[in-house]
Structure 1
Amino acid sequence: MADINMENFAVPDFVPDRYVKELARSCVGGEELQQQKVKIEGLAEETANALKKNVYENYMQFIETATEISHLEAEMYKLSHLLSDQRTVLTTLSQASILGNDNALSRESLDNHDLEAERAEEERRNKLNLITEKVEGCMNLLDIPDRTLLHEGDLLEIDAEENTALQRMHVYLFNDCLMLTCWISNRRGPMRYKFLISYPISTLAVVNVRDLGTVKQAFKVLAFPDTRVFQCNSLAIKKDWLDKFEAAKKMHMEKETSKQKKKESQEKSKAEMLESPSLSVEELPSPQITPLPDWLADVTEELDVLIVERHFQKTYDLMITAQKTLDTEDFKNHPQRSEILKKIEQKQKSLTEILLKELDVSQNWSPRGGLRSSRYPVQILNKFNMTSQACDLFLDICSQTVKAHVKGVQLEGSILSYVKQVGDVFFCSLSDALIEFTILFPKNKISSFIVWASMQLRILMAQIIKQIFTPQCALDSVLNCVQSLREQCTLFCEFGLDLRFQMNSCLRNPIKKALKEYKEKIVDSMKTKVAEDNWTPLSMHTKAGTNKFLIQMTDLGVNLSKYVINETWVDLSSSTIWFTQSIMTVQNIGLKIVTKDMMDFVNECIYAIFNARLMLSIGNDSSYSQKNYKFLLEVLLPLMLKSYKEEVGYDNQELLNLAKKFGVNIAPAKKANITKYTSNEYL
């Protein structure tokens, strides 16, 4: 049968059912049909892989497209504002009187008009008072003299992205603002709604939403930076809301137009007064004010665009430039100066809030960007005198980064390799954080980093201690892990921060506990081994076994070559050899793993083990047992004292007391002969 042709699937009129029927008709037997199925499945898998590859290769284009869409949305928002304003202006112009004739009103009509105005004002105030009584936490509705209620009703708020219902709301539309309230579930008294937010009518743009799926009879309210979608119960209610919004915008534009005309008339009258020759010199106005540059007049809109596009550094630079320009002599007395500075201050607050969210690890933070991704937000916050907050947030980011890096190390292989990898990752992350911290923050903040680094080290040590200080981990493995950590901590000191004291303080109690458990284990095992010992020389079976044993003992610091008999026998009992290995291991490892302030504890452990062994030999009168007892006192004990002094530089007083207790006289170390001059020639 012929192979599957990809072109068959690409034709526009491809019908899967018809293709399957033709395939089943042409195949002979179920086996061939099964082969075709496998081929189609393989083809589907190849197509899926190719699709994934294309998506991966064009990933940056997807990101750029999403960015362009967000920019386009902002432009559409502005365009909607402009269209709404233009529509209101055109409506106002169409209704304006061309001739400007005003009919004379009679006295009676004026009185009736005054009565109607009083009634309307009283009705307006009653409505607003009633709303205030119904809404919990409502703003003062009577603070604006001409505020009137245009429309109110229940609406269902819908998520703008997910198109899912959020909550049922009661909305009030006034001639100057839009007030949103929600229902109180367990209400008591006259309060029925709870105040949420209020938007000025000048900042609103209402957009119709087409019916799509479950979202029907809905409209969108754009109030930068918020976007809210409301759904009505019927098409008539939706039309009513849209008409009322349009009327509110129209009233607002008429009000602004009247204010502008009044202002122009005042300026015109002032200009006529200036042209009058009867004015004195004192009545002349101040010199003409320098007009604002275009970029400075539109600085707030430009700041909004930069913030939306996430150009934070450019936003800060533009703020500083605008403030410096307004502080110059040309614009120091400009009437719009205070208003622009106030708006810039508001944008600064918005920028700081966004930057704080950028550095907040609880706001979908990802460690992929690294610490450098937070450099610009931190620098801008420092310039806004928010160094303390920026420092705390930056250290939180460092904590999450260190945690993510350490968590990425897998426990594979030996415990030593795991500890080395964890130590490398931790101290590398710590060094990166220290370098970045010194770049971003002043020197007086380094104490915060030291406290943070100490805390991170404690967290790491708590995790590692659980891994290495276990009964299954041998004492020499514990020593290797501890030495590896100390070496890495010592290397980290080159960056100017010494954490060795904090590390040793974390290791102090676990090391003591490990040595104590090892001591108790040796003492318990020693009783059994001494009791079961046959008190005969130990056989190594072969010469190679003897050589291997001697090498092991030499590594521990004990030379037993003179105790070898007939090349395969050691003239010491098994319990004595086991004790020698155990006590030398405790001393060698103990002296390396502890710090100077823990030497007394090591001495106590060595003394307790050695004393327990000697006490077990007192009751045994056999000649070979006494020979081993003599080996412990006269050979092993002096050897341990010698190696102890070579390691730390002074004698083990506990072992010296033990030697005196059992009547052993330890000769002091011989001093090296120093050649003396016999001539006074060089004196």
Structure 2
Amino acid sequence: MASSSSINSTGPPPNPTPSPSKPIRHENLPPAPRKETSSPGIRQESEPAPVRNDAPLHSPVTRNDPPVSSPSPTPPVRRDTPTSQKSQKELPSPTIRKEVPVAPQRTESNSGLPTTPVRKNVLPKPSPMPPNISHSSSIGHISDGPGRQSAVDISQFSKEGFSHDEYLTKNLGTASEDTVRAFLQLLKDSKSLAAEDLQENVFKNYNEFVTISKEISKLESDMQVLRGHLDDLKASSDSLIDDDDEFLLAAGIEESAPVVPKRMTMMVSSMSDLTSVYKAQMMALWEGIDGAQKMLPYHPKRRLVRESPSFVEVNVSSNKIKHPVHIVLMNDALLVATRKKKTATHSKFKLVGDRCWALTDITIEDMKDTNDLRNAIKIKHGNEFFVYKTEKGQEKQSMLVNTKRATDDMLAKSNESRNKDTYGLPTMPNRAGMKFRASVGLSQSDFRWLAEFTDELDVLIAQREFDGAVAGVEKATVMLSQISLPGAKREDSRKRLDERVSRLARAILMDLGNPHVAKSMALKNVGWLERLGCLDQAKEVFLTSRTKVIRQRMGLAKSKRDPVVHIEELSVIVFTTIWNTCEWFEASFKSPKMTSSLVKWVKEEIENFADNYKDIVFGQGNFQVIADCFKIAQEQCSKLKEVGLDQLFVLETMLMPYLAEIISEHERRCLERMDAIIEHDDFAPMSGEDLGSSTPLSASMVAFYTVMMQFVNNACLIGNIMLYSRIVENVSNLFKAYVNRTIQVYEEVGLNNEQITVVNSNFEFISGNFISRVTVQLQHRFERPIPELETVREELTDVELQYHVQ
């Protein structure tokens, strides 16, 4: 039976009538030609593919080859367009009358047409295949059975641990060339069908994607509208609360005042004590600040509110510090005194009054933090303005809060006096306002702001407005320290604020821990965390993130064939990153207590670099390469001196044991070569003119000269003052070993007088010439005398062999 998918169709037939009892009927198809096989007794079995409800899937091989007798197919039209719908109505399929799943039936057919490919994980090949490839339930098994349907299970290719070599060996190890070609065609067709499936899925999911995108856009719009409504609600609530008193007065509603309460009498009786306290404060102020008595004359109601000795005046144009100041806040004025050095007194400096303004004549503004200026306030007086900053964020917030409170109190008293003159009696606020002012000393708007701040802080954290959030936390902390509430309410307020502060700190720490954070953002994050009191956590997170940066960049540096190039790349990465980290750390963490953590971190990173260095360099015996790599590492490490960290000794201390081990191994090899040379030497006289000797020398002496000079040259390449003792000791051992080994041969084997003459000539050359040459070379390398070799020369001067008596 011919497959239904091998017939070209423009779409599903309209209004199909399901009839499960009847198979699919094909019209206008010529009878399939009978194909004879080599085995007439074997019949080919096939199952009709179930008909899908979507567009028919055509074979990539036979989709363009319609049957001979079928009518000329119309061009395929996409089903989701109006044209396709129209064509489906006008042109019903002439070949498929019923589109329902048909139960699998075993039929006998001699047709050579292939079966329809089923679009699942197992993709069958739609075109005829050679008779030696057959389908298997295993992973794409290839067999030589004739007439079977071929398939390949592509799902196994994506399995973890899939090995293409094992797959090919198992399935195509003994296959013929035709089998391999057929399997290649099978893979190509499977790839084509998978691509079509992917394209259909994209078309199918596109509408869902568009719908979801519209929903997200609508949700964002709703959030903006909701945020606007919340802002309007907050503004309306504020206006209603602020206009409460005015509304009551306008309506003619007033609260009755008590008739001379006892508490008023007690307060009047204690006014003399308050006056004496205020007077004592003024006298201490006059005594401590020169010129304060002229600027702040005595008044019975003038009192001290706060002193802030930690401010410094800043140049407005250059943001540079001019001099430290002492700010004194009174209940009606603000005094700024400068510090000046004393010549001969008990204290180191004295305070001199510089400026003094009435609170009603000035405006104090909070300045936004920048990289150059933090925790600063601006005082405006007419057309002049002055900038002062402090290292403590809470000190600034406390000054702002106290100044605002003192100004509000002055304005309230001024309004009270005007109302008293107008109505004859002072106006009484509502009970809530009385209770708050008597117990807290803050304005009603401040109390309302403090109650709503936790919700506002959640919004600021969600919107990542960290600058405003940190400033609000500082302001709220100062208010909570001055407010008088019952213990339970105070603890609840502190707990809610601490929870928000923890969330804010975690969000900032997450940004700081990002390995890709820029320098300016890192400085801002550290500044915010310092103001929140999380400086230690900021330090740990910052250094940890810089460690991740170094590890990540070192991992990107691929291993090179030339170790010098590899070490140069690693050195630049490690020490440049350390240099940048030190610079960022110095700009972010001003406290000297933090420097020890930075030094410890730098030491750990240099130790990690040394571990990678030894694995790359010391695995070979090329002293020139070792010397070049060591020089590059020293040059890069020396750059840290620019940021005040000389860590070259740390690097050298880490690498010296390995260098000493390399030199000792080289000495061992030289001793082995020297033993072999002496053992095979017949001590026949040879010319020593090439070595600068006027007497004949033996072959072992000439060879030993070459070995010794090679050792000295290699040692000088990597020589360091820390290796001085090891190198000189190894050279001395080599000289003594040659002499002792030669004497041992003389005693064990025996030499004639002619050979003894040559040996004595060797000893004379060593003590008189050879040691001096090596000494000069080592002196030039270490820039110091070598007394140890001079001692060796003196020991070997009197060594000679005795001649045999004839």
Structure 2 equivalent of residue 300 of structure 1: 454
1:381 touches 1:387 (CA, 8 Å); kept in 2? yes
Worse overlay, 338-347 or 481-490: 338-347
Q: CA deviation at 1:581?
A: 3.4
Structure 2 equivalent of residue 314 of structure 1: 468
Distance 1:433 1:578, change over 3 A: farther
In structure 2, distance between residues paired with 1:410 and 1:340? 56
In structure 2, distance between residues paired with 1:538 and 1:295? 105
Q: CA deviation at 1:590?
A: 3.0
Distance 1:332 1:19, change over 3 A: farther
Distance 1:26 1:594, change over 3 A: farther
2:610 touches 2:654 (CA, 8 Å); kept in 1? yes
Q: Would you say 1:287 and 2:451 are equivalent positions?
A: no
Q: Deviation per CA, 1:58-101, whole angstroms, max 9, x where unpaired?
A: xxxxxx9999899789889999999xxxxxxxxxxxxxxxxxxx
Structure 1 equivalent of residue 595 of structure 2: 446
Q: Would you say 1:414 and 2:414 are equivalent positions?
A: no
Where 1:467 maps in the other structure, the secondary structure is: helix
Q: CA RMSD in A?
A: 5.3
Structure 1 equivalent of residue 337 of structure 2: none
Q: Would you say 1:480 and 2:605 are equivalent positions?
A: no
What is the identity, as a one-letter code, of the residue corresponding to 2:773?
Answer: L
Q: Deviation per CA, 1:33-79, whole angstroms, max 9, x where unpaired?
A: 99898599579879999x99xxxxxxxxxxx9999899789889999
Q: CA deviation at 1:625?
A: 5.2
2:470 touches 2:532 (CA, 8 Å); kept in 1? no
In structure 2, distance between residues paired with 1:66 and 1:376? 36
1:591 touches 1:599 (CA, 8 Å); kept in 2? no
1:273 touches 1:279 (CA, 8 Å); kept in 2? no
Structure 2 equivalent of residue 468 of structure 1: 617
Structure 1 equivalent of residue 31 of structure 2: none
Where 1:458 maps in the other structure, the secondary structure is: helix
Q: CA deviation at 1:386?
A: 2.1
Out of 725, 728, 739, the position equivalent to 1:603 is 728
Q: Deviation per CA, 1:149-172, whole angstroms, max 9, x where unpaired?
A: xxxxxxxxxxxxxxxxxxxxxxxx
What is the identity, as a one-letter code, of the residue corresponding to 1:490?
Answer: S
Q: Would you say 1:518 and 2:658 are equivalent positions?
A: no
5+ long unaligned stretches in structure 2: 1-9, 12-52, 68-112, 114-126, 130-180, 203-212, 232-243, 265-425, 434-442, 800-806
Where 1:411 maps in the other structure, the secondary structure is: coil
In structure 2, distance between residues paired with 1:378 and 1:559? 74
In structure 2, distance between residues paired with 1:22 and 1:42? 13
Structure 2 equivalent of residue 502 of structure 1: 650
Structure 1 equivalent of residue 55 of structure 2: 15
Where 1:662 maps in the other structure, the secondary structure is: helix
Distance 1:657 1:354, change over 3 A: same
Structure 2 equivalent of residue 582 of structure 1: 707
Q: CA deviation at 1:644?
A: 2.2
In structure 2, distance between residues paired with 1:419 and 1:491? 16
Q: Deviation per CA, 1:625-683, whole angstroms, max 9, x where unpaired?
A: 55555443333221112222233343322211111112179xxxxxxxxxxxxxxxxxx
1:303 touches 1:315 (CA, 8 Å); kept in 2? yes
2:457 touches 2:500 (CA, 8 Å); kept in 1? yes
What is the identity, as a one-letter code, of the residue corresponding to 2:590?
Answer: P
In structure 2, distance between residues paired with 1:312 and 1:409? 37
Please report the TM-score for the alignment, with normalisation by the length of structure 2. Answer: 0.44
Where 2:548 maps in the other structure, the secondary structure is: helix
2:523 touches 2:587 (CA, 8 Å); kept in 1? no
Structure 2 equivalent of residue 152 of structure 1: none
User: Equivalences for 1:155-166 in 2 at 5 Å?
Assistant: none
Q: CA deviation at 1:281?
A: 5.5
What is the identity, as a one-letter code, of the residue corresponding to 1:468?
Answer: V
What is the identity, as a one-letter code, of the residue corresponding to 1:367?
Answer: P
2:732 touches 2:789 (CA, 8 Å); kept in 1? yes
Structure 2 equivalent of residue 350 of structure 1: 503
Q: CA deviation at 1:496?
A: 1.8
Structure 2 equivalent of residue 201 of structure 1: none
User: Equivalences for 1:496-645 in 2 at 5 Å?
Assistant: 496-533=644-681, 560=690, 575-591=700-716, 593-618=718-743, 619=746, 621=755, 627-645=761-779
User: Equivalences for 1:141-156 in 2 at 5 Å?
Assistant: none
2:724 touches 2:782 (CA, 8 Å); kept in 1? no
Distance 1:20 1:42, change over 3 A: closer
1:634 touches 1:664 (CA, 8 Å); kept in 2? no
What is the identity, as a one-letter code, of the residue corresponding to 1:647?
Answer: R
What is the identity, as a one-letter code, of the residue corresponding to 2:548?
Answer: Q
Q: Would you say 1:663 and 2:788 are equivalent positions?
A: no
What is the identity, as a one-letter code, of the residue corresponding to 2:532?
Answer: F
Q: CA deviation at 1:512?
A: 2.1
What is the identity, as a one-letter code, of the residue corresponding to 1:352?
Answer: A
What is the identity, as a one-letter code, of the residue corresponding to 2:736?
Answer: N
In structure 1, distance between residues paired with 2:736 and 2:468? 77
In structure 2, distance between residues paired with 1:46 and 1:501? 66
2:454 touches 2:497 (CA, 8 Å); kept in 1? yes
Q: Deviation per CA, 1:167-192, whole angstroms, max 9, x where unpaired?
A: xxxxxxxxxxxxxxxxxxxxxxxxxx
Please report the TM-score for the alignment, with normalisation by the length of structure 1. Answer: 0.51
Where 1:497 maps in the other structure, the secondary structure is: coil
In structure 1, distance between residues paired with 2:551 and 2:774? 44
Q: Would you say 1:653 and 2:693 are equivalent positions?
A: no
In structure 1, distance between residues paired with 2:599 and 2:525? 22
Q: CA deviation at 1:358?
A: 5.0
1:454 touches 1:502 (CA, 8 Å); kept in 2? yes
What is the identity, as a one-letter code, of the residue corresponding to 1:384?
Answer: L
What is the identity, as a one-letter code, of the residue corresponding to 2:455?
Answer: E
Q: Would you say 1:423 and 2:565 are equivalent positions?
A: no
In structure 1, distance between residues paired with 2:428 and 2:708? 101
Structure 1 equivalent of residue 525 of structure 2: 377
Distance 1:71 1:389, change over 3 A: farther
Structure 1 equivalent of residue 542 of structure 2: 394
Where 2:63 maps in the other structure, the secondary structure is: helix
What is the identity, as a one-letter code, of the residue corresponding to 1:612?
Answer: A
In structure 2, distance between residues paired with 1:653 and 1:422? 40
Where 1:367 maps in the other structure, the secondary structure is: coil
Where 2:445 maps in the other structure, the secondary structure is: coil
In structure 1, distance between residues paired with 2:538 and 2:647? 24
In structure 2, distance between residues paired with 1:640 and 1:608? 13
Q: CA deviation at 1:298?
A: 4.7
Instruction: Report the structure, 1 or 2, having the larger helix content.
Output: 1
In structure 2, distance between residues paired with 1:594 and 1:318? 62
In structure 2, distance between residues paired with 1:642 and 1:431? 40
What is the identity, as a one-letter code, of the residue corresponding to 1:301?
Answer: D
In structure 1, distance between residues paired with 2:621 and 2:628? 11
1:372 touches 1:436 (CA, 8 Å); kept in 2? no
In structure 2, distance between residues paired with 1:65 and 1:430? 48
Q: CA deviation at 1:492?
A: 2.7
Q: Deviation per CA, 1:336-372, whole angstroms, max 9, x where unpaired?
A: x978777544422321243345556xxxxx6344666
Where 1:280 maps in the other structure, the secondary structure is: coil
Q: Deviation per CA, 1:383-404, whole angstroms, max 9, x where unpaired?
A: 1222222112211222222222
In structure 2, distance between residues paired with 1:473 and 1:46? 60
What is the identity, as a one-letter code, of the residue corresponding to 1:489?
Answer: C
What is the identity, as a one-letter code, of the residue corresponding to 1:655?
Answer: L
In structure 2, distance between residues paired with 1:342 and 1:492? 45
Q: CA deviation at 1:307?
A: 1.2
In structure 2, distance between residues paired with 1:45 and 1:640? 76
